[in-house]
Amino acid sequence: MTSLWFLAYLAVDFDGQVKPLLAKHCNECHDRAFYLRHKDSLLKSMQYPAGDERAMPPEGPRVPKSEQDLIAAWIAEGMKWPVEAKAMNDDLELTKAIRAQIVKQGDTPLRPYVEKVPGSNVSFEMLPVRGGKFKMGSMEKPDEAPIHERSVEAFFMSKTEVTWDLYRLFMFAMLSGEKPGEDLVVDAVSRPTKPYTEMSFGMGIDGFPAISMTHHAANKFAQWLSAKTGHFYRLPTEVEWEYACVLGQTKPEDAVFSAQKYAKVASKKPNALGLHDMLGNVMEWTADQYQAEAYTRQEPWVKSKRPYPHTARGGSWQDDARKMRCPARTPSDPSWKQQDPNLPKSIWYHTDALGLGIRLVRPAKLPTAEEMHAFWNNGVAEDN
């Protein structure tokens, strides 16, 4: 009881008293997430005698006892850290902050790895795809021609389509234990509004692919995931997607198509690269604006200028065999939002695209902040 009285009496003014102390003595080398992780050793670290290698800050000067007491009171009160009204906007500065975190994590060798999303039990697997050249396109459809050679740099690709288990962590912040103000960078990424309807439409959640997200939502998901994990994730470009499909010798026999509903991810055999459901189950967003004549120009990726169409690849459970081909391209369309009762229509949900999902890519080489930003912000989130 005594301690409760003591705390009430001491109630510290974080912004006025504690924050400036941390800024003066510690912020040069640590951040808020670090203080939370080390809450049990923060005080001790300031109390070691000068010269002790554990003493903080390492090069001195010592933190005066009166200042330590303020920090102690703040810790005892639960380390509250009120967030300023708008800590960070979802802009290039945010992308730079996320990139700085990614750079700290360092490179990952081009080998399979498992990514666990912090604060949750959800993980997913990323597989390496070596760089190389291939023949892109086909003569079957005008928008697949001409067949032409492309070079692709090495990247990782998610072994499966993104599941609801993973996507729902982005839709509902509480699911991954996020509390407002705890991670300013994660907080700042734009998040979906609550859907007006159950978005799996009764087709299943655990282990099933997430569907019906807009291109904007898919991009923001990749950005959020990057902020959470410290690795750069984005949508595949059309070139990367087709390369992984062709190099993996993906077979239509291993595709879920002409079906009643979607199947759990990886219900069928993987291709030669280990990737499941490249064809069928759900088609997958690419980063590109769809242009029927895109191959006459051969840009590495066609950046969005208009809300529609963007390209989806791989065909879905709703399609027939004609879409179960690596070169087949599907343009997005405003009719994918037909049943959306919201006016203006939601920037997050394609309520009529029940066969549309996401597969993730992580390029082996980290691009510039500007390029990352361009991938995460298609610039045409609104329909008009």
Binding interface with ligand HEC (CB under 6 A): 25-26, 28-30, 38, 41-42, 45-46, 56-58, 63
Question: What is the gyration radius of the CA atoms in the chain, in angstroms?
Answer: 24
Sign of CA dihedral 211, 254, 151, 109: positive
DSSP assignment letter at 260:
S
CA distance 343 to 177: 32
* Beta carbon of residue 10, minimum distance to ligand HEC (angstroms, whole number): 19
- Gap between the Cα atoms of 7 and 13, Å rounded: 12
Cβ-based nearer residue to ligand HEC, 56 or 374: 56
By beta-carbon proximity to ligand HEC, the closer residue of 56 and 279 is 56
- Name the residue with tokens 């949750």: 120
H or E segment to which residue 43 belongs = helix 42-47
Calculate the CA 309 to chain-centre distance. 22
If the CB atoms of residues 58 and 180 are measured against ligand HEC, the closer one turns out to be: 58
Report in angstroms how near the CB of residue 366 gets to ligand HEC at its nearest. 22
Report helix, strand or coil for 90: coil
Q: Considering the complex, what minimum distance in angstroms separates the CB of residue 82 from ligand HEC?
A: 20
- Are the C-beta atoms of 285 and 310 separated by less than 8 Å? yes
Nearest to 45 by CA among 31, 58, 34: 58
Shortest CB 29 distance to ligand HEC, Å: 3
| Closest to ligand HEC by CB, 26 or 217 | 26
Min separation Cβ 101 and ligand HEC, Å? 14
Q: Which residue, 46 or 171, has its beta carbon nearer to ligand HEC? A: 46
Tell me the closest approach of the beta carbon of residue 88 to ligand HEC, in angstroms.
23
Smallest CA-to-CA distance from 20 within 63, 78, 52 is with 63
Tell me the angle at which helices 215-229 and 92-105 cross, rounded to the nearest 10 degrees. 40
Q: Which is nearer to ligand HEC, 57 or 331 (CB)?
A: 57
